[in-house]
Amino acid sequence: MAKEVMRTNDLQFSGRPNLTGQKAFSYKHIDVAFTPYSNYWREMRKICVIHLFNANRLHQFRPVRENEVSRMIEKISKSASASEPANLSEIIMSLLCNLICRIAFSKRCEDDDGQAERVGNKTRFHHILAETQAMAGSFFFSDFFPFMGWVDTLTGKNRRLKKAFEDSDKFYQELVDEHLDPNRPKVDQQQEDIIDVLLRIRKNSETKIDLTWKHIKAVLMDVFVAGTDTSVATLVWSMTNLMRNPATMKKAQEEVRSVAKNKGFVDEDDLETLQYLKAVLKETFRLQPPVPLIPRSTTEECVVDGHKIEAKTLAYVNTLAIGRDSEVWDKPDEFIPERFIGTDCVDFQGQHFQLLPFGSGRRICPGISMAMRTLELALANLLYKFDWKMPEGMKNEDLDYDILPGVAMHKKIPLKLMATKFI
């Protein structure tokens, strides 16, 4: 059925549902992720593919990725030296937030000591991300029962959404204003961050769209949310799965350590040979897809499996159910990376509908290469640099698989582990 929706009828199912939370954060559907399929959407996606996530940008940001992973390792090393549990959920979130911030606007969201402007127990940036994710995926009565929209007001949903959007909009505008400062040092195209690129495109009219500040902020929202949320979830679930399967953990560590040997750090040149590590990530995508429900909406009437589907019909591709379907996978509830080893193995580029972590068809994620490079680099160094065990009094079997509600599939209880330095 996923193939029917995402390939056979890909054009007809290329729309997005018009949901309250997503409409707000996308500046009324002028971003890429939540905007309905149209000539406008194609032009916006082209900006992302050609200017933001091309091979040159992937290479340009390699030092940033390697530096931030090194900082993550240093942070974990301090916990290891103090014989304290490392909160991997928090540390990995910090890694991705700082990485995306440096790629987007050339600054970390916290300083070298982990200090930053905070809202409650989160950095300002993390708080904005958390609220965006929570409200973009939240259920609003007005979306499905318009006559009951008053419930959203009564429960405080509308007020919370308004505050979350205003906070994020203010943050994005501050970033744009910093880049517009005439006293800001000029950079050439090889050193541009994402805001620099978007401002250059706007200034030089390099696109058919008349880019406004709202367009730029909408793209920033996509980059921040998609670039952090799903990657954080995948890394945390990968480590959770490996802890629950010690033999698999050992095999993955042996591969990484045999490749990196005594280098002290797994760099991006090593990644292509780490086939078992790649299989671990694929198996995590299968069991814990970063987006368990991929939303689509029909742009016109079509036929699916002999059934007539009306225009503006909302559909969800349930990647979580596909990944655990016994008719598709052998031993679907077991963590077996070996199923992805071999020349005929399933890939995640959108051509094999058994595994769809990045979607498929016209709406496939444009940042796959950037995401995978980050995931592989971070996981490889976590396995290379440390041996892992549960905190005192806990067993590997005690690790839970409870899920937080939201657009991305996050682990509910933070993952805290004891790290011992290996090298």
What digits encode the pLDDT tens for the residues 107-143? 998 765 555 565 656 788 889 998 998 899 899 999 9
State the binding site for heme: 365
pLDDT given at position 186: 87
Contact 220, 175 (CB under 8 A): yes
CA 225 to chain centre: 7
Mean pLDDT of 170-185: 94
Nearest 5°: phi and psi at 83? Answer: 55, 40
d(CA 56, CA 38): 28
Residue 117: its pLDDT value, please?
66
415 close to 240: Cβ distance less than 8 angstroms: yes
Q: Which residues pair with 388 in a beta bridge?
A: 419
Can you read off the two tokens belonging to residue 273?
A: 């040979």
CATH number of the structural domain 2-421: 1.10.630.10
Q: Are 218 and 26 in contact (CB under 8 A)?
A: yes
In Å, how far are 188, 247, 396, 418 from 393, measured between CA atoms?
54, 21, 10, 12
CA distances in angstroms from 356 to 242, 244, 314, 397, listed in the order given: 21, 24, 19, 28
Q: What residues form the annotated binding site?
A: 365
DSSP of 310-326: -TT-EEEEEHHHHHT-T
| pLDDT at residue number 111 | 66
Give the model confidence (pLDDT) of 241-251 as tens digits: 999 999 999 99
Mean pLDDT of the residues in the chain = 92
CA proximity to 228, closest of 375, 347, 406: 375
pLDDT tens digits, 370-421: 999 999 999 999 999 999 999 998 888 889 999 987 788 899 999 999 999 9
pTM of the model: 0.93
CA distances from 129 to 6, 65, 102, 232, 382 (A): 29, 20, 16, 12, 24
Q: What is the pLDDT of residues 49-79, one digit of tens each?
A: 999 999 999 999 999 999 999 999 999 999 9
Q: Where are the domains of the chain?
A: 2-421
The position carrying tokens 């367009």 is 215
